[in-house]
Structure 1
Amino acid sequence: MTLKKLSALALIMTSLLPALSQARDTVLNLDFAAVVQEATQAGKLDGSVKFYLAGATVPGKSTPLGELVTNKKTNAFNKTDEEACSWALQSALITLQDAAKKVGGNAVVDIVSFYKRKESRSSTTYECHAGTFVGGVALKGQAASLK
């Protein structure tokens, strides 16, 4: 490569660096129940564990079995923010389902969004962070046995 071409390439790369360092982090609050239903219908969740966001009414008596935390990311390339967020939430729900079943639970209650260890509560939505290349969901909840 000639010095002229190297200089031109260096100039182009230098001009791109500020854009790359300004990573996008769009916060979305999306419908939790719709993604749970989608994952259940697709067979990703087996239906043996129910999910209740903090503030939602939990039927019957709930016996706590331990705190659960999950932080899932997904490749957002060629996906809308909503699609990437749905993938990340479904992955988080699978992790919570498996962890609850391991301790004898049939529910995860008091679920809050827990992105970067900051709680965000809603009885209907979950928080997702969508970037240029990655979408992420972090959740914290309580494994429980419902009677």
Structure 2
Amino acid sequence: MQLKHWSFVLAILAAVPGLSQARDTKLMLDFHTVVVDATEEGRLDGSVKFYLAGEKVPGKSSPLTEVVTNKKTNAFNKSDQEACSWVLKSALIELQESAKQAGANAVVDISSFYKRNEMRDSKNYECHAGAFVAGVALKGKLAKVK
């Protein structure tokens, strides 16, 4: 082989370890900002309210059943925050539909549940962003709030 070809092969081999060590950045981001954005965009219809674990639920809450959602989205060519916001909106839409089907008007006691590791926070959600994929997993309880 000519020297140019060897240089090309070596460059490819040097890049492979970088590809196999994918980025997985943990971010803690404001939950309610995304809920407001999704509602204003019409992606959420406002019929279901969302309350993080540790957050005061107004009125009396009657929990019905536990629900888990695990969403991923394409993060390519997006900032981590954009990708995380997008994937949280997808998770919220799924929770809203589950609540409506169960006759609930709220999802309460929501915690992050990424890779089955529960993280409770009354203000933020956990998102993991990589070079190509961002993911959010949530666990909560469908409830009727009066």
TM-score, normalised via structure 2 length: 0.95
Query: Do structure 1's residue 18 and structure 2's residue 17 form an aligned pair?
Result: yes
Give 1:7 shift: 4.0
State the AA in 2 paired with 1:36: V
C-alpha RMSD of matched pairs (Å): 1.1
The equivalent of 1:48 in structure 2 is 47
Query: Do structure 1's residue 35 and structure 2's residue 27 form an aligned pair?
Result: no
Query: Do structure 1's residue 101 and structure 2's residue 100 form an aligned pair?
Result: yes
Deviations along 1:96-116, whole A, 9 cap, x unmatched? 000011100000000000000
The equivalent of 2:122 in structure 1 is 123
State the AA in 1 paired with 2:69: T
In the aligned structure 1, how far is the partner of 2:108 from the partner of 2:7?
57
Q: Mark the runs of 5 or more structure 2 residues left unpaired by the alignment.
A: none
State the AA in 1 paired with 2:96: Q
In the aligned structure 2, how far is the partner of 1:99 from the partner of 1:64?
13
In the aligned structure 1, how far is the partner of 2:102 from the partner of 2:53?
20
Matches for 1:38-117 after TM superposition, within 5 Å? 38-117=37-116
State the AA in 2 paired with 1:69: V
Number of matched residues? 145
State the AA in 1 paired with 2:60: K
Give 1:12 shift: 2.1
In the aligned structure 2, how far is the partner of 1:22 from the partner of 1:68?
32
Percent identity, aligned pairs only?
66
Give 1:145 shift: 0.6
State the AA in 2 paired with 1:102: Q
Give 1:6 shift: 5.4
In the aligned structure 2, how far is the partner of 1:103 from the partner of 1:12?
56
